Amino acid sequence: MTNEDPRIGVFVCKCGTNIAKVVDVPEVAEYAKSLPNVVYAGWQIFTCSEEGQNIIKRHIKKHKLSRVIVASCSPKLHEPTFRRTVMEAGINPFYFEMVNIREQVSWAHMKQKDEYAEATEKAKDLVRAGVYRAARLESIGATTQKVPPVCMVIGAGIAGIAATTLLADNGYEVHLVERSPALGGKSAQLGFVFMTDTCGVCVPPRHGEMARKCLSKRVILNDPKIHVYTQTEVKQFSGYIGNFQARLHSQPRGVDIETCTLCGKCMEVCPVEVPNEHDFGLANRKAVYYPFPQAVPRAPVIDFDSCTKCGKCEHACPVNAINLDEKFKEADITVGTVIVATGFDVFKPEGLYGYGEYPNVITQLMLARILDPMSPTDGQLLRISDRKLPKRVGMIQCVGSRDPNYYSHCSRVCCQVAMKHAVYIKEHWPETEVTIFYKDIRLQGKEYERYYLDAQRLGVKFYRADIAEVEEDSGKSLKLTVDHHNGTKESFPVDLLVLSAAMIPAKGAKELARTLNLEVDLDGFFREYHLKLAPVDTTTDGIYLAGACSSPRDIAEASFMGAAAASHAAIPMSKGEVEVDLAKSIVDESLCIGCANCYAVCPYSAIYMEGGVAKVIEVACKGCGICVVECPAEAIQLRHYRDKQIFYQIEGLLANVGASKK
């Protein structure tokens, strides 16, 4: 604190009627004048407006204010606005204090008219606490952190590839990390995708070239700016924006991508055959195999779990590209920003509607494999048990979604997927009957209504029903029983039952969240910083989300979310640095006893131990204050929220206790 007495200005906001309807704003402003160190107090209709901010600046000059308090909305909304305002008037931004009398006062009491008078008193109490605190605020500076133009993208599905290509096009270096042996994510399993009915492996197009672009070797693998790591996971992760360190752990591929000539001899001689997971076991593959026909990188991969290491492929390979003793590889990379695009998994509805029990109960994704022109069935609709064309196809919606027993969310794409498959079946096999059993049909978005109309025109039956039971008869056909909840039940025979299973967080999402320090929501998806205002940001600066890892999304959304994440990640990288204010934890090293408690509890890995004392990485610190609380020697304080500042604020809050009770 300076020796001079602080000169505090208080600006109370009406926020139109938002605050003024409940709180007597002029009375609060009048009251503020009586508080210690307050040299000016007044009210405005919209303090955050250009006009309102100019008034603040004028009064700062006129009254030589050294502290500014705005009593209005949540600091989450306008604290940055007013900090900028006072800074423009020559005051340190941390000499600004915000008092929330909207969310915490007027909105909280809006519905109880008899509480309005008390709400005004409450607003006064909060303003008084703010005035006490403002007198104790300190001037805080800022530091900068360099951000290299390198980004790590985790996940090479639609969103990850969209982000990667966009960043590379803008001249940034990208490390693209993919867990599976091939790029493309779930979309690679889709023969054609809804809305445009285009091929699943060909999206998203890069600008200027519409078809077969993204997954072609030419674009991603040959771009000098893009480093692709397949069969790779992030093992260790630490650091902060501008200086993230990741250890990438790659499983051995067994086949050298560069020397392989794609002759296919290894696959011919391999004696091991296992079901192909890409096709859900509709066909078999060898232990050395292409993940799928158009897979990129374009080289076979060895499945070391089923490989017997007989060595036949090694002998057969004319270019010595195969190494059966290949070990895992680890690479350490340093990146400025990170985009997480790890996508989703399809809920396995084990035990629901006979899934896993009867062969003819499948999921929509498996139906997509069957209908794919490149599938083992050559795109022919058939049922699993006898490989014959089913006469009656049933689809059940919301399996695992919108279900309190499983996942509460709507998976958002299942209605479109069911519609797409129903229309496709009716167009190709008109005699086959298709019935969709649904809870609600939710088709929003461009062009989707057309699907619905097409389906109705082609004779797809829609049945709003609750399926109580699924039984199999001797001919492997299924009997669906609908419970009308009025004592009557109705049966529907079908030959093939397709379940629209939920989109759920990808396998390993929780572990990744722990590695990267991301928050997850109730359903297990990564939590965005703000659902509407910052949907691609996370609570950690420099880490962004794209695609279905944060919520179920369709391909179009994943595509533009990838672009959004890329443009957000590009902001600090194009500037080359970020400015970080120093309202962060600070260690008094003479008091620190080196117990490492703070190091253990810090959720942002912002503390490290050196020479027996704790040190704070200011760029990584988010100012949450957990370390302050747990420090047994009180050696850590949080600038801007020092114990003394908070105690003084509480003192201010309680200064009138007894007096206001009358």
Partner 1 sequence: MTVRIATMGMAGCSGCHIALLDTGVELLNLLKDVELVYSYPIVDAKNPIPPNIDVALIEGSIRTNHDKEMAKAMRKQAKFVIAFGACSAHGGVNGLANTFDAQEGVEYVYHKTLLMAQKQVPSEHVPQILPENLRLSDVVKVDFIIPGCPPHPDEIAQIITTLLAGETPKLSSKSICDECPLERLTEPPKQLRRIHEIPEQGICLLSQGFLCMGPATRAGCGAECTRRLMPCTGCRGPSETVWDQGIVMLDALAAMEKDEITNFKLSRLAGTFARYTYASSKLDNLRKGLKKK
Which residue number, 579 or 643, has a Cβ lying nearer to partner 1?
643
Smallest distance from partner 1 to CB 634, Å: 4
Shortest distance in whole angstroms from residue 70 CB to partner 1: 30
Nearest-approach distance from CB 352 to partner 1, in angstroms = 36
Contact 338, 542 (CB under 8 A): yes
Strand partners, 496: 393
CB of 233 to partner 1, least distance (A): 26
Q: Which of 116, 304, 560, 599 touches partner 1 by CB under 8 A?
A: 599
Please work out the total of residues on this chain that contact partner 1, with binding judged by CB under 8 A.
Answer: 23
Q: How far is the CB of 141 from partner 1 (least distance, A)?
A: 23
Q: Considering beta carbons, is residue 519 or 588 the nearer one to partner 1?
A: 588
Q: Where are the alpha helices (DSSP H) in 302-405?
A: 312-316, 364-371
Q: How many CB atoms lie within 10 A of CB 606?
A: 22
Residue 590 CB, shortest distance to partner 1, in Å, is 7
Least Å from the CB of residue 595 to partner 1:
6
Of the candidate residues 106, 500, 597, 645, the single one contacting partner 1 (CB under 8 A): 597
Residue type, 508: G
Q: Which helix (H) or strand (E) holds 279?
A: none
CA atoms 383, 388, 392, 393: torsion sign: positive
In sequence order, the β-bridge partners of residue 495 are none
Toward partner 1, which CB reaches closer, 471 or 588?
588
Of 533 and 593, which CB lies nearer to partner 1 in the complex structure? 593
Q: Report the length, in residues, of the chain.
A: 662
Task: Tell me which amino acid residue 344 is.
Answer: F
Toward partner 1, which CB reaches closer, 89 or 595?
595
Residue closer to partner 1 (CB basis): 529 or 608: 608
503-562 positions binding partner 1, by CB under 8 A: none
User: What distance in Å separates the CA atoms of residue 9 and residue 134, rounded to the nearest whole number?
Assistant: 10
Q: How many CB atoms lie within 10 A of CB 380?
A: 14
Report DSSP state, residue 186.
Answer: G
Q: How far is CA 304 from CA 254, 276, 315, 329, in A?
A: 8, 14, 17, 15
Q: How far is the CB of 622 from partner 1 (least distance, A)?
A: 17
Q: Shortest Cβ distance from residue 133 to partner 1 (Å)? A: 17
613-652: which residues touch partner 1 (CB under 8 A)? 626, 629-635, 643, 647
| 654 lines the binding site for partner 1 (CB under 8 A) | no
Give the residue with the Cβ less far from partner 1, 281 or 594: 594
CB 539 within 8 A of CB 519: yes
Hey, which residues between 577 and 596 contact partner 1 (CB under 8 A)?
Answer: 588, 590-591, 593-596
Shortest Å, Cβ 74 to partner 1: 27
Residue 441 or 609: which CB sits closer to partner 1? 609
- For the record, the structure tokens of 615 come out as 């040190």
Binding range to partner 1, per CB under 8 A, among 299-307, 491-499, 519-527, 598-606: 598-606
Q: Does 140 bind partner 1 (CB under 8 A)?
A: no
Cis peptide before 297 (omega within 30 of 0): yes
Binding status of residue 205 toward partner 1 by CB under 8 A: no
Residues ≥6 apart with Cβ < 8 Å to 566? 151, 162, 163, 164, 166, 167, 170, 339, 546
**CB of residue 37 to partner 1, shortest distance in Å:** 24
216 or 517: CB nearest partner 1: 517
Question: Is there a contact between 154 and 170 (Cβ–Cβ < 8 Å)?
Answer: no
And the tokens for 344? Answer: 């989703």
Work out whether the CA dihedral 118, 124, 128, 131 comes out positive or negative. Answer: positive
SS3 132: helix
Phi and psi at 36, nearest 5°, equal -60, 140
Q: Nearer Cβ to partner 1, position 18 or 597? A: 597
The residue (of 196 and 236) whose beta carbon lies closer to partner 1 is 236
Structural contact between residues 296 and 183, judged by C-beta atoms closer than 8 angstroms: yes
Residues at the interface with partner 1 (CB under 8 A) = 588, 590-591, 593-597, 599-601, 609, 612, 626, 629-635, 643, 647
